């Protein structure tokens, strides 16, 4: 049995997305075992820790220059410190918008490799030879141009929804998934995804908020679209770190 590295997951943004990320990570670990020609056994999964901590809303914080308890950096730092103390060599953040604080988190804990979701996705799409790429995300993620910068570094352009469509995505996130109304979430997200495909033709759509894939699970309306789940890409990247020696 190959030795593995301890890894961590910084979640709680929201809790459902953090829990779902663990599922994706476990799947990615099983794929790593199969790729190595090893049997998938309980004992072959790496030690991994999930920190599900209450974190203030990231989009609201990015819209405010004031310091205080509404800022998410401090609770994320505390959670990352716990994961580091548990021996995590690499950590994934199960939230797209939270990567606006990636540099400050990494600076405080240089001993931990803090994966960058948008960069992992950009590299993944570039390796696939992606053409048009569109982004469904939170207002905070759009505001800091998280994916635009990462995609540009990989030589890819980023198409964004119209302002009204962005409001529909926001409704699907907060009134849909976070409120437990998955039917509303599916209606909102599928509406925007279909509009993007209609306007831009064949397009790869990044589901750049962890709530979007949850809302579109099993949706027949978007069955023909090329959807990319950044959490799945990030989970695969974390699994590679766990099995890297």
> In order along the chain (245 residues), what is the average pLDDT of each group of 10 residues?
89 91 98 96 97 93 74 95 98 96 98 98 95 94 96 96 98 95 97 97 95 93 95 98 92
Shared domain check, 216 and 183: yes
Shared domain check, 88 and 57: yes
Number of domains comprising the chain: 2
What is the Rg, in whole angstroms, of the alpha carbon atoms belonging to the chain? 18
| Model pLDDT, residue 59 | 87
For 136, the 3-state DSSP assignment is strand
Shared domain check, 133 and 193: yes
Shared domain check, 206 and 134: yes
Q: How far is residue 51's CA from residue 77's CA, in Å, rounded to a whole number?
A: 11
Shared domain check, 136 and 103: no
DSSP class of residue 176? I
Asked if residue 160 belongs to a domain, the reply is yes
Asked if residue 149 belongs to a domain, the reply is yes
Shared domain check, 122 and 112: no
What pTM was estimated for this model as a whole? 0.93
Shared domain check, 199 and 122: yes
Shared domain check, 136 and 78: no
Asked if residue 1 belongs to a domain, the reply is no
Asked if residue 79 belongs to a domain, the reply is yes
Structure tokens at 240: 């590679």
| Model pLDDT, residue 131 | 86
| Model pLDDT, residue 204 | 97
Environment class of residue 155 by beta-carbon count within 10 Å: exposed (0-12), middle (13-18) or buried (19+)?
exposed
Shared domain check, 97 and 27: yes
Structural domain range at position 207 = 118-230
Structure tokens at 197: 């495909």
Asked if residue 97 belongs to a domain, the reply is yes
| Model pLDDT, residue 137 | 97
Shared domain check, 93 and 127: no
How many CB atoms neighbour CB 33 within 10 A? Answer: 18
Q: For residue range 36-76, list pLDDT tens digits in order.
A: 999 999 999 999 999 999 999 998 898 876 666 678 999 99
CATH number of the domain at 105, please. 3.40.50.1860
């Amino acid at each position: 049995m190959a030795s593995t590295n301890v890894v961590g997951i910084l979640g709680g943004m929201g809790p459902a997305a953090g829990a779902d990320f663990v599922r994706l990570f476990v799947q990615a670990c099983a794929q790593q075992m199969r790729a190595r020609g090893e049997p998938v056994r309980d004992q072959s999964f790496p030690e991994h820790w999930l920190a599900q901590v209450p974190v203030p809303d990231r989009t609201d914080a990015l819209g405010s220059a004031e310091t205080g308890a509404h800022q998410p950096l401090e609770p994320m730092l505390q959670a990352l410190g716990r994961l580091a103390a548990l021996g995590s060599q690499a950590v994934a953040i199960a939230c797209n918008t939270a990567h606006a604080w990636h540099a400050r988190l990494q600076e405080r804990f240089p001993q931990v490799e803090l994966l960058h979701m948008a960069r992992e996705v950009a590299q993944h799409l570039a390796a696939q030879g992606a053409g048009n790429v569109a982004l469904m995300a939170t207002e905070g993620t759009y505001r800091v141009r998280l994916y635009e910068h990462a995609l540009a570094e990989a030589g890819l352009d980023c198409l964004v929804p119209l302002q009204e469509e962005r409001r529909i995505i926001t409704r699907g996130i907060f009134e849909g998934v976070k409120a437990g109304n998955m039917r509303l979430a599916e209606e909102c997200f599928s509406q925007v995804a279909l509009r993007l495909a209609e306007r831009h033709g064949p397009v790869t759509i990044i589901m750049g908020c962890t709530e979007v894939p949850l809302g579109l699970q099993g949706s027949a309306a978007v069955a023909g679209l090329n959807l990319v789940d950044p959490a799945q890409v990030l989970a695969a990247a974390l699994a590679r770190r766990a099995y890297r020696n």
